[in-house]
Amino acid sequence: MGEYALLYILFAPFFGALALIFVSNRQALLVRGIAAGSAFISLMASLYLFYTYDPVRGGFQFIQRFEWSRQLGISLYLGVDGIGTPLVLASSILLFAGIFVSWHIKDRAKEFYIWILILAAATIGVFMSLDLFFLYFFYEMSVIPMYLLLGMWGSHTKKYLEMTDPEGVKQRDSVGFIFNFGSNSKEYAAMKLVLFLSAFAVAAFMGILLIYKYSGLNTFDILVLREHANLMNIPVLGTTLDKIIWVLIFFGFASIAPLWPLHSWSPVGHAAAPAATSMLHAGVLMKLGHFSIIRVAFEILPETTQELMPMAAVLCMFSIVYGGFVAYYAKDTKYVIGYSSSSHMGYVFLGMAALDYISLSGAVIYMFAHAMATGMLFSMAGWVYDQTHTRDIPSLGGLSNKMPFISACFVVGCMASIGMPGTINFIAEVMIIVGSWNKYPLQVIVAVLGIVLTMAYLFKMMRSLFYGPMDQKYSHSHDAVAFVDRLPLLIMISVSVGFGLFPMHLYNVVRSGVDPLISKITRVVPVAELQAPEAPATSLHEQLAARGAQLPEVPVSQ
């Protein structure tokens, strides 16, 4: 596999989707086998990538470059550092698990698997791209499958059945309901997702084009732009160009994260989406926002990032508190998990805003950890819905008698979500809290209270679903007994607990990507000044130490 690992990971799902076009829906086992096989290839290549990535050498590794347009400076330029590597692995894990979560789907299964594979491949492409054009290309590609997966295979919420026009005539099957923003149909959720993400993606694209235009380098190469682009002190509209670009990039990508107040599309999308789509949506699609901000704003505009990132520290408090309280009062299982995910993304923004080695490392690890925890919860919410045909929490109860395996896994998923020791979420949360305390103590206090709130609404939902008396109309429901039904949950639980007990390789990989980035953003004294001719003939490390600066620790491979 070697140097071509990224190509295997990226194109295996694409080729799987292409192969499925030529298979009939009547060949159900072959359809599932092709989808699972292509996802398995991507997963194995991702594991190889993760465990052969050298954190001591750091930087971008497994580089692949194919020139697309020399005149425009565009290339399919692929590579991963310590930040992208774990997110590629998370995407591959959730894709493989999502294939089995959807194993029993009967309605146009071939088309469903085609769009799931394309969705996962698009997110993987973002995490690999070192070219701004293709980063944006893969980012936008992910919107198309989401729209179709929600609109065709999604489910309506409870209020959808009550939707009427003023004359009392049902509008559920008319075109007009798409523009009825008081409704809760799956089509409404799909349209809202597209409108939000596309509108703000245009803002991000404007920022990318301004970088391309005013850098004067005629390239979209992120590595060249981060070293040579100088967008500072260009006056525009009473401010400077770098600030305008940074705001466009930040809010353009923060909408998918989702950061308050740009979040409202996300929980609705979670509620309408099928289980596997919700897993990828919350697990990796939402992380495209954080990752793209890190890759573009942090890498290319480090000084502006240090100046403007405090606004994220303010907004993240609203994300944590608002998402948590709405999740507590929600009565739909997917709305609870959806608003919980929006709340937890505030922790990632807090870790990013602190601009500390520990906090940013914790934020990246939390993105990986949250993917596993929320993947578990959404897959089990989907199982409960398939068995009971309802997501209304008050009407459920006592399901542990019928679903002992699912209820046990649900406990593990809740423990991971609240950051129980023994799961990787615990390590990530501690790093964010510790790394952010010196700069943002108020936000850290809010974050800790948010953990308590998370425990309250998840335990409340767990009790209401699985314990207490059970309505006899759900007596026909049954547990996940088959191997294909248990496999995805066992994979995600093993990853969450495994990295929670043995986190050092993950930690070292992430630190190898975070350390040079934070050093570039937070540096105060230029290296050229430290090496001035009149300076004594001492090492750079001794000169920094004399000025009271600290160099980041070099991660050691375990």
* Residue 449 within any structural domain of the chain: yes
Give, to the nearest 10 degrees, the angle between helix 424-437 and helix 483-501. 40
How far apart, in whole angstroms, are the C-alpha atoms of residue 21 and residue 30? 12
Half-sphere CA count of 292, side-chain side, radius 13 A: 37
Taking the C-alpha atoms of residue 193 and residue 264, their distance in angstroms, rounded to an integer, is 9
What φ, ψ does residue 57 adopt, rounded to 5°?
Answer: -75, -35
Q: Is residue 372 part of a domain?
A: yes
Q: Is 279 left (phi over 0), alpha (psi -120 to 50) or beta?
A: alpha
Residue whose C-alpha is closest to residue 48's, from 89, 15, 82, 20? 89
CA 534 to chain centre: 49
Q: Give the C-alpha separation, 424 to 416, whole Å.
A: 8
Half-sphere exposure of 56 (CA within 13 A, CB side): 4
**Distance separating alpha carbons of residues 512 and 550, to the nearest angstrom:** 17
Residue partners of 484: CB distance under 8 A and separation at least 6: 100, 103
Angle of CA points 452, 456, 460, to nearest 5° = 165
The total of other beta-carbon atoms located within 10 Å of residue 357's CB is 20
Joined tokens for residue 241: 């160009």
- Alpha-helical regions (H) of 154-264: 186-215, 222-228, 241-254
Using only C-alpha atoms, the chain has a radius of gyration, in whole angstroms, of 23
For residue 86, say if its preceding peptide bond is cis, omega within 30 degrees of 0.
no
Residue tagged 């491979």 (tokens): 557
In this structure, the number of other CB atoms found within 10 A of the CB of residue 175 comes to: 8
- 391: its two tokens: 């997501």
What gap in Å lies between CA 98 and CA 112, rounded to an integer?
A: 11
* Whether residue 421 has a cis bond before it, omega within 30° of 0: no
pLDDT of 121: 92
- Domain assignment present for residue 26? The answer is no
pTM for this entry: 0.84
Q: CA 464: distance to chain centroid?
A: 28
Give the distance from CA 263 to its chain's centroid. 14
C-alpha distance from residue 515 to each of 52, 60, 190, 455 (Å): 19, 13, 39, 32
Give the residue among 112, 95, 202 at the shortest CA–CA distance from 153: 112
Distance of alpha carbon 493 from alpha carbon 404, whole angstroms = 16
Whether residue 212 lies inside any domain: the answer is: no
Residue type, 9: I
Q: Residue 513 domain-assigned?
A: yes
> How many domains does the structure of the chain reveal?
1
Is 45 in a helix, a strand, or coil? helix
Q: How far apart are CA 163 and CA 184, in angstroms?
A: 8
DSSP letters of 429-479? Answer: HHHHHHHHHTT-HHHHHHHHHHHHHHHHHHHHHHHHHHSS---GGGTT---
- The number of beta carbons lying within 10 Å of the beta carbon of residue 32 is 20
Q: Which phi-psi region, left, alpha or beta, contains residue 58 (left: φ > 0; alpha: ψ -120 to 50)?
A: left
> What SS3 class is residue 62?
strand
Residue 363 lies in a domain: yes
Beta strands 74-80 and 61-69 are: antiparallel
User: Which range marks the domain in which residue 475 is found?
Assistant: 310-522
Among 160, 122, 159, 302, which Cα is nearest to 225's? 302
Q: Is 390 contained in some domain?
A: yes
Q: Nearest 5°: phi and psi at 487? A: -55, -50
Spatial neighbors of 465 by CB under 8 A, at least 6 apart, are 333, 384, 393, 396, 397, 399, 407, 410
Q: What DSSP state is assigned to residue 285?
A: I
Residue pLDDT tens, the chain, 558 long: 667 889 999 999 999 999 999 888 888 889 899 999 999 999 999 999 999 998 888 888 898 888 888 888 888 899 999 999 999 999 999 999 989 988 888 878 888 899 999 999 999 999 999 999 999 999 988 888 888 887 777 676 654 444 344 444 444 444 444 444 444 566 677 777 788 888 888 888 998 998 888 887 888 888 888 888 776 667 666 578 888 888 899 898 888 888 888 777 777 777 777 888 888 888 888 888 899 999 988 888 888 888 888 888 888 888 888 888 888 888 888 888 888 888 888 899 999 988 888 999 999 999 999 999 998 998 888 888 888 887 878 888 788 888 889 888 988 999 998 888 989 999 999 999 998 888 889 989 988 998 889 888 888 888 888 887 877 777 787 887 888 888 999 999 999 999 999 999 999 999 988 988 888 887 733 333 334 444 444 443 444 344 444 444 444 443
pLDDT of residue 537: 42
In a domain, 131, yes or no: no
